[in-house]
Amino acid sequence: MIYTMIQHYRKKYLLIIIIVMLSLVTHSQKLNTLNVAILLYNDVELLDFAGPAEVFSGCFNVYLVTKDGKPITSMGFAKVDPNFSIDKVPSPDIIVLPGGRSVPTSDEKILDWIKTNQHRGTYLMSVCNGIYMLTKTGLLENKTITTHHGAMAGLQEEVPSAKVLKNSRYIDNGDVITTAGVSAGIDGALYVVSRIKGIKEARRIAEGMEYHNWEIADGHIGYQNEYIGKLRSQALDHATGKKVTAIRKEDIKVIPYEGEFENSFEEFRKQNKLKEAIYVLETALKFYPGSFSFYNNLAQMYKANGMRSPSTSETYKKMFAEEKVDEAIALYDADQKLFPGWKIIEERDLIGAAYESSQKKMYKNAIAILAFGLKLYPNSSALLVNVGIAYENTGDKKAALDYYQKALAVDPANERLKTYADQLQKEISGN
């Protein structure tokens, strides 16, 4: 895609910055990316799988799976070619089970695949009557569950020990999340994102989809990480001056996700319980020392509590927009002396700021922002590519080629960039 766009828009290279930013992922992001497998079969309901796929693709690695790896037809008209068969699928962290007209409720191979993955720690999320793939697995016994309103009576008969809940868009039981019908799969997927990545990330994705009515309160949350519950109690005690003994990591059965920490922080923040919010964030950073969100939130809480604090990413974004890059660098250096190791500015912040400058034809400012970014992330192929694009907008093809080649040294597998760099080399040499 990058190569094609450059070919067609020779004078507007920086229009592809956002595509580069989204397609080139940092090393730390790759380490935190979860795999989401969406199981498909003939006559699967289109929105049941497309809705969650849209949500999860905003922050996770999503792939489509069929029993045998062969294409299926959804709703009689939409042919879908899967990425894998269940025998060759990469190990999933989340499996989505959408509903449809011919749910494979008795296919032993599929049911064994579901149970095997669940037993090794994979989360299951059913959509609509896709929950019927779980009725014979024993995974729904004594749980609170939901499905499409037209399938509730039958579900209760299938699993008499379960409590089938009406008027809930989704229900979280910890390792099994069930959702109501069709569009509710979007709500359930957004909730899963909020649990893993935080409520802000879920709202960012919902906003991008223009799914404005999503509310976390529309679901029933019957699960809370055991440690998070203890941490909240400790935060309350700490705020009143009581002595708190930290729980050792090795004594925690299930390490909470970043989102579970962040959501607890947000609850305290909304209640204006600043000391409690700070305690949660400082503890969270012991588990996730590379979290930009935690550092930025902590900086805001320090300031709100009258404590010395570093600048936040918003401060730097504003300075970049005002062409105060040198001042921003000086401020960053000063912040790092007082708060060494704090991670405030993300690569995407820098690329986004450079894009905004380039839209205003402030190309030198864009290059300065990206050059600053390379001091923080010297091995970022995304930043290197964008410096090259910025130089092309100034007409300096030789400098652009130099940065494209540096990007290829970091990411030699980028064939599209290699093709374009080769062509640019020929243009410069006059061949």
Which residue type, as a one-letter code, is found at position 45? Answer: E
Location of structure tokens 């999933």: 92
Tokens of 112: 């064994």
Q: What is the pLDDT of residue 390?
A: 94
CA distance 401 to 378: 17
CA distance 14 to 12: 6
Cβ neighbour number for residue 65 with a 10 Å cutoff: 24
Q: What is the pLDDT of residue 247?
A: 86
What does the domain layout of the chain look like in residue ranges? 33-221, 226-304, 313-429
CATH assignment, 33-221: 3.40.50.880
The yes-or-no answer to whether 33-221 and 313-429 have a common fold is no
CA distance 140 to 134: 7
Tokens of 369: 């922002």
CA distance 258 to 265: 11
Per DSSP bridges, beta strands 84-85 and 35-39 are unpaired
The structure's pTM equals: 0.82
Nearest C-alpha neighbor of 218 from the set 204, 230, 201, 206 = 206
Burial of residue 150 (CB within 10 Å: 0-12, 13-18, 19+) is exposed
- Long-range contacts from 242-251, C-beta under 8 angstroms, 24+ separation: 246/283, 249/287
Nearest C-alpha neighbor of 284 from the set 271, 293, 275, 272 = 293
DSSP 8-state assignment for residue 73: E
DSSP letter for each residue of 205-224: HHHHTT-TT--GGGSEE---
CA distance 278 to 94: 31
DSSP 8-state assignment for residue 78: E
**Tens-digit pLDDT profile for residues 211-270:** 998 988 899 999 999 999 999 999 999 999 999 998 888 889 999 999 999 999 999 999
Q: What is the pLDDT of residue 250?
A: 87
Cβ neighbour number for residue 64 with a 10 Å cutoff: 20
- Long-range contacts from 19-28, C-beta under 8 angstroms, 24+ separation: 20/351, 20/382, 20/385, 20/386, 20/389, 21/347, 21/348, 21/351, 21/352, 21/355, 21/382, 21/386, 24/381, 24/382, 24/385, 24/411, 26/347, 26/377, 26/380, 26/382, 27/379, 28/290
CATH assignment, 313-429: 1.25.40.10
Which stretches of the chain score pLDDT less than 70? 1-32, 431
